[in-house]
Amino acid sequence: MSGLVDALRGTKADLVARSGRPDRLTQPGGCCLAEPFPVPLADPGSPAHPRTDEAVHETFVVDWPIGGPADGTPAAVAMGSDRALVEWWQPTVDALVERVIAEAGRWGIELDSPFYVSVSTTPLGQVIDEPHLDDDRFEPRAGVGLVAIAATHLGPRLAMGELPISPPTPGLPVERFDGDGGGGDDPVTWWQAPADRVVVLARFGQLHSGPAPGDLPAPPPDPDRIQARTLLVLRAGTVPTADQARVGSGPT
C-alpha cells in the first residue's frame, strides 16, 4: 500500500528508478478502497442496457470550480447529449469522484484537473482482457497519474512484480515485453480485483486488463437478455510532491 502511495506522489522517473535496472519496471500494484462501492447493473429497460452486442459509452469531464479545491466539489459534466443516459450515470459518477478525491486527499496526493470518467456497459462476451498501460509515455518529471476503476462482475486484473521493458527514452512510449521478455526470468503474475470496489492504480507504467473471459459468467443464450458488465474508469493527472521530486533518480 505504501509503495503505491509513494508512486502516486512521485514522478515517472521515480517509478522507473525503483527496480534499479533499466530493463525492468516495478509494478506499483493497486489497492481496493475500504468501503464497498455498489456499481449499478444495466438491467433491460435502463438507458445504459446494450440493445445489441455493442457497448454503451459515455464520458464525463471533471473540473474544479474557478477558485480551485477551496471553492468546493468539482463538477462532472457529460460530453454526450443523451439526457436519459447521462441522468442514469450521474449519481454513480459523482459518488466515484467524491470517493477518489477524499482518498487522494487523505494520502497527500494532489490531483491535476481536469480529469475524466469514462463509463460503459459491455455485453459479457465483448469484455476485452488485453493487457495494456493506460499511460506508456516516459516523461521523466511528469507525475505518474492515477486511475480508479469500479465494475460489476469483476474488477480489473493488475500485473505484479517486475515488468520486462526496453530501457525507456524520454518523450517516447515504454516498450514492454510479454511473458518473461525472452530473458528466462519469471513471468509477471496477476492479481484479480473484486467487483463493486474502487480499485486505485498508477496510470503510468501499471500493466492491467479486464477480467479473463473464463472468469466471467457465460452470456445468456437469449439475445434479448443481454447481460452486460458495467465499468467506470476515472483518469487523473497527479502533481509530484516536492519531497518525491527531489529524490527522483531516474534518467532525465
Does position 86 have pLDDT exceeding 90, yes or no?
Answer: yes
Question: Model confidence at 65, in pLDDT bands (50, 70, 90)?
Answer: confident
Domain ranges of the chain: 2-212+226-246
Which is it for the CA torsion 136, 117, 141, 171, positive or negative? positive
Predicted confidence at residue 45, as pLDDT, reads 85
Question: Model confidence at 4, in pLDDT bands (50, 70, 90)?
Answer: very high
- How far is residue 171's CA from residue 168's CA, in Å, rounded to a whole number? 9
Torsion of CA 171, 232, 228, 219, to 10 degrees: 50
Does position 99 have pLDDT exceeding 70, yes or no?
Answer: yes
Cβ-contact 29, 158 below 8 angstroms = yes
Does position 109 have pLDDT exceeding 60, yes or no?
Answer: yes
Percentage of the residues of the chain whose pLDDT score is greater than 90: 66
Which of 127-141, 215-229, 230-244 shows the highest mean pLDDT?
127-141
Does position 50 have pLDDT exceeding 70, yes or no?
Answer: yes
User: Is the bond into 114 cis (omega within 30 degrees of 0)?
Assistant: yes
Predicted confidence at residue 248, as pLDDT, reads 41
Cβ-contact 202, 146 below 8 angstroms = yes
For the chain, where are the alpha helices, taking DSSP H only?
2-9, 12-17, 83-107, 242-247
Averaged confidence pLDDT in the chain:
87
Does position 247 have pLDDT exceeding 50, yes or no?
Answer: no
> Nearest to residue 19, comparing CAs of 226, 225, 181?
181
3-state secondary structure of 218: coil
Mean pLDDT for the stretch of residues 80-106: 95
Does position 126 have pLDDT exceeding 60, yes or no?
Answer: yes
- How far is residue 68's CA from residue 88's CA, in Å, rounded to a whole number? 28
Does position 251 have pLDDT exceeding 50, yes or no?
Answer: no
pLDDT for 160-185, tens place per residue?
999 999 999 999 999 987 544 344 45
Question: What is the grid cell recorded at 58?
Answer: 459515455
Does position 105 have pLDDT exceeding 90, yes or no?
Answer: yes
pLDDT for 186-228, tens place per residue?
567 999 999 999 999 999 999 999 998 788 877 666 655 678 8
